[in-house]
Chain A
Amino acid sequence: MAQRAVWLISHEPGTPLRGTVRFSRRYPTVEKRARVFNGASYVPIPEDGPFLKALLFELRLLDDDKDFVESRDSCSRINKTSVYGLLVGGEELWPVVAFLKNDMIYACVPLVEQTLSPRPPLISVSGVSQGFELLFGIQDFLYSGQKNDNELNTKLSQLPDLLLQACPFGTVLDANLQNSLDNTNFASVTQPQKQPAWKPGTYKGKPQVSISITEKVKSMQYDKQGIADTWQVVGTVTCKCDLEGIMPNVTISLSLPTNGSPLQDILVHPCVTSLDSAILTSSSIDAMDDSAFSGPYKFPFTPPLESFNLCYYTSQVPVPPILGFYQMKEEEVQLRITVNLKLHESVKNNFEFCEAHIPFFNRGPITHLEYKTSFGQLEVFREKSLLIWIIGQKFPKSMEISLSGTITFGAKSHEKQPFDPICIGETAYLKLHFRILDYTLTGCYADQHSVQVFASGKPKISAYRKLISSDYYIWNSKAPAPVTYGSLLL
């Protein structure tokens, strides 16, 4: 379950090496065990230079794919996980856990405690999930609350010391690096017995509990015969509990109004101590029926010091908040578009913002535009071939708005217009971006009176809610569009 080495590599397209190793750490005691366990199939950890090159090649980040290269492009080299085999010095280093996020590549090599030939299935290697968790932890640490490159560099410079705390010998002790940072700060406090390892100290001050529910709604709308529109709500409940004592107990209940949509697919934070079986089994995999558990959803837990995600859920609301259609037709040299959007009457008509982005891919810049809109303003980004329809804070009384127009494009230039493999010809979409505060689509809320806290002092309890759009697509109904299997279920 240990790691042989960990790397952090920044992906830098356009530079000679396409990347730089920002951090690396090797674990020689684990390496010694790898040599014994792997026997004749042992491949040593390479130095940073060769590793960087091999990893970028494997991840297709060297942008030199003009020619067919068998070791990369062969149809039989199929990778179905984020775990790779890297060719280094004629031998294959496996398993390399790696993923790219925000132009940073996170990578590690878990110890496999047996021979590597034949290759054991990944599921049997305990170090793989441990490696992922460590890399996710590093990613969270680097990007939580980080605003600019300077802060990133400061955090990167803290990594060696933090990993010395969180993973001194290659076996991860705590994937939450913020805890390790706090640990150094709390070191002078004599920790009493039964202090959880995930809570480096205790809080001193005014007791307060804050609960915020964020729901994201995504949708794929086609306006077509034979293809069903789909939509889904994904909720995240974030808590920050400032409570005195080593292990204060808190129970938060999420409730739904009578016509609310049941929560499903609930995943909880590891600090939750017990779960009702109805919570564990309510799942979107099953066909919905009226008997679905509709709460209240109780979560008893002992909070960590920092802000954390108490639980995630999904929900299938009966209708999408905004239903729309988008029609686009090529007419000789110009495109004719018609958009219609309708806000459902049950949705709170008070947006922080609401916009429809209408991009045109694989075409040149917009040279000419004529349009008519029933509501809101249209912004034109000619070079980006993008229209943004700013709807604003409220839909009109009719709840229905429309936009129509014709657009002409100039010649396509390859550098400025990246290739889009989906939106070819008339296949096109518009994407909605909106946010509504103090509102959830499911109706889910945390009742302040139902929050139970077993700790000294009466805490101040505050609760927040918001709804955000995410991946809210409305496809051109006059052309083929990519469908999911779920859309074929009618």
Chain B
Amino acid sequence: MGPLSRDVWAQRLGAFRASPSAFMAGPEAEDLGRDLLGDLRNEKLSEQTKVSLLALSLEYPAQLWPDATAAEVAATSLLDTLVLLPPRPSALRRPLLLAATTALAVGGALGPTSGASCRLLPLLLGLAAGSDLGRGFVPASEQRPLQATACECLRELESCKPGLLGGSLGLLRGLLGQEGPVQPLSLLLSLALRNTLVLQSRAGAGLGALLTARVSPTAGGPWDWALVEEGDGRLQPQAPSWPAAEEGDGERSLTARGHSPEEVRELRAAVAQLLDTSYLLTPVAQAQLLWLLGWALRGLQGQPPALFKPQLVRLLGTAQLTLLHAVLALKAAFGEALFTAQDETLLLRRITLAAQHPALPPSTHLFYLHCLLSFPENCPLGPEGEEAAPLLLGPQLCRGLLPNLLHEPTALLARLHLLCLLCAEDEEEEEKGQLPSPGHYLEELLAGLWQRAALEGGPRALATLCFQASYLVARCLAGQPTVLTPLIHGLAQLYRARPMLAPHFVDLLDQVDPELREPLKVVLRQEVVSRPGRDEALCWHLQMLARVADGDAQSATLNFLRAAAAHCTSWDLQQGLLQVCRALLRAGVGGGLVDLLQVLARQLEDPDGRDHARLYYILLAHLAGPKLGVALGPSLATPALASSLVAENQGFVAALMVQEAPALIRLSMGSHEVKGPLPVLQLLPEALEPIYSLELRFRVEGQLYAPLGAVHVPCLCPGRSARPLLLPLQPRRPAPARLDVHALYTTSTGLTCHAHLPPLFVNFADLFLPFPQPPEGAGLVFFEELWDSCLPEGAESRVWCPLGPQGLEGLVSRHLEPFVVVAQPPTSYYVAIHLPPDSKLLLRLEAALADGVPVALRTDDWAVLPLVGDYLRGLAAAV
């Protein structure tokens, strides 16, 4: 296809944006990425159009260039376009840099062997350093913006590949001290510093050297791929762990590793340098800097967080959400080491103030209120991870934060929660000052909510709010009779005023604890049965009674039903009536119910209703209690099967339709088979109920493998072990993947169901296949030939593979046995692995030491290097 005009592109981009998935399923999908790259160099297109093309590539690179190869090609082309721009100012340089960065990072092509990476990285670092790149590459007017953009690109790459800039810390520090733009360099340096500190605590590199080394950006490059590999696939959380999130996550916190005094001095100087100029950053960027530095210094020995102190007063005075949030992060990270008891009080008061300040928007108030209830206290008392009012936050501080009826629903609920927490404390402490009792205020507030919900013609949102408030109170103050009694009374009154809220009552009864549920049921039942049966709201009464009727107060219930039966003229009322009968049947009510059912079986106008009544009568008359329970079952569908036209029709429709259902099947991975030309997954299915005609469908995310066929199983029964299912994989790239799994099956009641199962993960090692066994004695020659064939296109690397107590021999026999070509136990093994579709991976494990073995490895596919690194390092732990 030739170059496209502006209008055609506008139309095409519009169609894509309207629904990317629909567009990508269409005929134009394949060419889009290629056309886009081509037309960026089309001189007939305006810069504006080209910017819109680049904007698309910034948002949807995964759709345009779905794999690493395509991403590499795209990035190369984008870089070529950049180089070919005439030396005058252009709006394209910036988006081209962003697009090349995005393509490499998203496509997974970023790495030491990617040509585009090796061009982009020095270019970015050169631009960031403000060096002269020659040939009028950057017009003077664009130098400054491009310098900032290059920093942003580097920061994004460092975010995606932590540790990448580990070797550039000294250079970045130098730039920040000189003429560089403050914000982009500060953010880049703080991120690189954070990542290096985290990774280096594992890798063991010298920090002091990194902070002072000034590498020239034009020489070979300071890229620390080794450090990247160290952290690869284990992106670091940028947030300081909060007390609640910290549990069992010790690995993420910095291991307190001793630093030499010089290192400590350099680190302190670098952090101080960043903090001193932080005032020049925009508020959002200042916040990012504080989060990063807080995380970097947390848990580091000899690094008292006092460096942050000079900034705090300035930050505490602002209204800026990000800044106060960052201060809270520092509080969570350092606790008492940074905030004395008095500081803590001041911070708490500032947050309390911000949560109600009339000059701030409502959503900010709500976030601060959340922060108050999750406040990282120096000495927390309650259980971790639960919202609670901080100890210092007494009723006096809270009085401006309590709810009233004029608040929006969200604000009302948030403040009501605080009020409930105060009431709970009030109860415990019995401390009465001159403040009005929170419990009394709560009672009045609830009364107001019930009154509003009771209004004829009021919107459902008001009713919902009222029930949410009641639920919240019941949950927070369960076990306090002084609260529950008026709550039950108020709800009963509400029902009396507005029976159409019955579905809300049923929902509330389903959600609350028995402490409220049981007494509320009794009161609501009384409300219903004390009425004459001919109420306008009869359908709601019946719905309510079906939930609250049980063995108690039988005669009143039956009297009500007898009276109501005369007024149940329509089908749905009759069904409602029968639902109550059913509930009574299940509750084991006998005597009077038999008579009622007999009457209903004769009297009801609707034949379907009569059938139901007769069925219940027969069940009641002939089955003993336990059997009756089984016959009625938990599902409403069962009696429907036995009924006449309408219900039959319902059953018929249900039988024809596919039902969405929870997964009744569990799938687990079996042992890994290494036979045949393709990797095969062994799946072990397990059913929770008998199911028939099971079809399992698999979808590979990211199109890494060819589409997978469905697997069929005629029948699965719980407790009976099934044969393992075999799922052959056809990789397009040797990479791990996530499989989406759907199941379609028939239940024993004849319904066809569809369920979404938890995803399966195909590991890198699941793809390993052996090479054909060479003739006896030819192993070494065969291996050497494979070894030599990997270069020059492929890659070579060395990895340290830790050994567990079982030693090298144990590790090989456990994980690599099928792939060993040459073995000289226990010291030396040559391993050749075929990675479908057509890659190879060769390992030499020799000269093992007590705690590990150096592995020399070659592959003809550089993209697998990080995967191999992860795999080998994980082996010792995998035993």
Contacts and interface: CB of A to CB of B under 8 A. Distances in A.
Interface in A340-378: none
Interface stretch (B321-329, B587-595, B692-700, B721-729): B321-329
Contact of B371 (A32, A123, A489): A123
B458 A124 contact: no
Interface in B229-268: 233, 235-239, 241-242, 244-245
Interface string A25-46: 1111101110011001000000
Interface string B362-375: 11101101110010
Nearest to B149: A168
A60 B179 CA distance: 52
B359 A267 contact: yes
A37 B235 contact: yes
A421 B406 contact: no
A439 interface: no
Interface string B434-452: 1110000100100010011
B9 interface: no
Given A81-B414, A132-B363, A272-B314, A168 B152 contact: yes
Interface in B319-367: 319-326, 328-329, 332, 346, 349-350, 352-354, 357-364, 366-367
Interface stretch (A280-288, A321-329, A398-406, A461-469): A280-288
Contacts of A29: 101-102, 105-106, 156, 159-160
Interface in B85-112: 94-95, 98, 101-102, 105-106
B531 interface: no
B106 A32 contact: yes
A281 B160 CA distance: 42
A230 to B, nearest CB: 10
Interface stretch (B461-469, B616-624, B744-752, B779-787): B461-469
B853 to A, nearest CB: 29
Contact of A277 (B245, B281, B282, B313): B313
Given A188-B141, A267-B317, A488 B282 contact: no
A60 B635 CA distance: 31
Contacts of B448: 482
B367 A82 contact: yes
Contacts of B346: 280-281
Given A81-B414, A133-B322, A28 B60 contact: yes
A380 to B, nearest CB: 26
Given A32-B160, A65-B460, A120-B242, A126 B325 contact: yes
Nearest to B508: A75
Given A81-B410, A267-B357, A280-B317, A36 B396 contact: no
Interface residues of B, number: 140
Contact of A485 (B21, B353, B399): B399
A235 B313 CA distance: 22
B674 interface: no
B759 interface: yes
Nearest to A97: B363
Contact of B413 (A78, A123, A232): A78
Interface stretch (A191-199, A385-393, A445-453): A191-199
Contact of B19 (A27, A28, A49, A414): A49
Contact of A482 (B179, B352, B397, B406): B406
Nearest to B386: A121
B507 interface: yes
A190 B504 contact: no
Contacts, number: 347
Contact of B452 (A49, A168, A274, A421): A421
B449 to A, nearest CB: 10
B467 A75 contact: yes
Contact of B370 (A2, A123, A171, A187): A123
| Most chain B CB within a 10 A radius of its CB, from A26, A130, A195 | A130
Interface stretch (A66-74, A141-149, A254-262): A66-74
Given A270-B283, A489-B436, A187 B366 contact: no
A285 B397 contact: yes
B405 to A, nearest CB: 4
Contacts of B471: 75-76, 78
B521 interface: no
A265 B284 contact: no
Given A132-B363, A486-B399, A274 B314 contact: yes
Interface in B836-851: none
A42 B62 CA distance: 17
Nearest to A279: B317
Nearest to B243: A124
Contacts of B772: none
Contacts of B144: 187, 190-191
Contacts of B19: 47-49
Given A75-B511, A80-B414, A26 B59 contact: yes
B634 interface: no
B367 A132 contact: yes
B360 to A, nearest CB: 8
Contacts of B410: 79-82
B357 A312 contact: yes
Given A77-B468, A197-B183, A113 B237 contact: yes
A205 B674 CA distance: 79
A160 interface: yes
Nearest to B48: A161
A124 B376 CA distance: 10
A17 interface: no
B869 interface: no
Contacts of B20: 47
A216 B358 CA distance: 10
A153 interface: no
B758 interface: yes
B285 interface: yes
Nearest to B242: A124
A484 B402 contact: yes
B302 to A, nearest CB: 26
| Most chain A CB within a 10 A radius of its CB, from B95, B354, B400 | B400
7 contacts: A65-B461, A73-B503, A74-B507, A122-B374, A275-B314, A285-B397, A424-B451
Interface of B: 17, 19-21, 51, 55, 58-62, 94-95, 98, 101-102, 105-106, 140-145, 149, 152, 155-156, 159-160, 178-183, 233, 235-239, 241-242, 244-245, 277, 279-288, 291, 313-314, 316-326, 328-329, 332, 346, 349-350, 352-354, 357-364, 366-367, 369-371, 374, 376, 385, 387, 396-397, 399-400, 402, 404-406, 410, 413-414, 417, 434-436, 441, 444, 448, 451-452, 455, 457-464, 467-468, 470-472, 503-504, 507-508, 511, 660, 756, 758-759
Given A29-B102, A187-B145, 16 more contacts: A28-B60, A33-B159, A37-B235, A65-B461, A68-B507, A74-B511, A75-B470, A77-B468, A82-B367, A90-B756, A130-B288, A136-B361, A169-B101, A175-B282, A236-B359, A419-B459
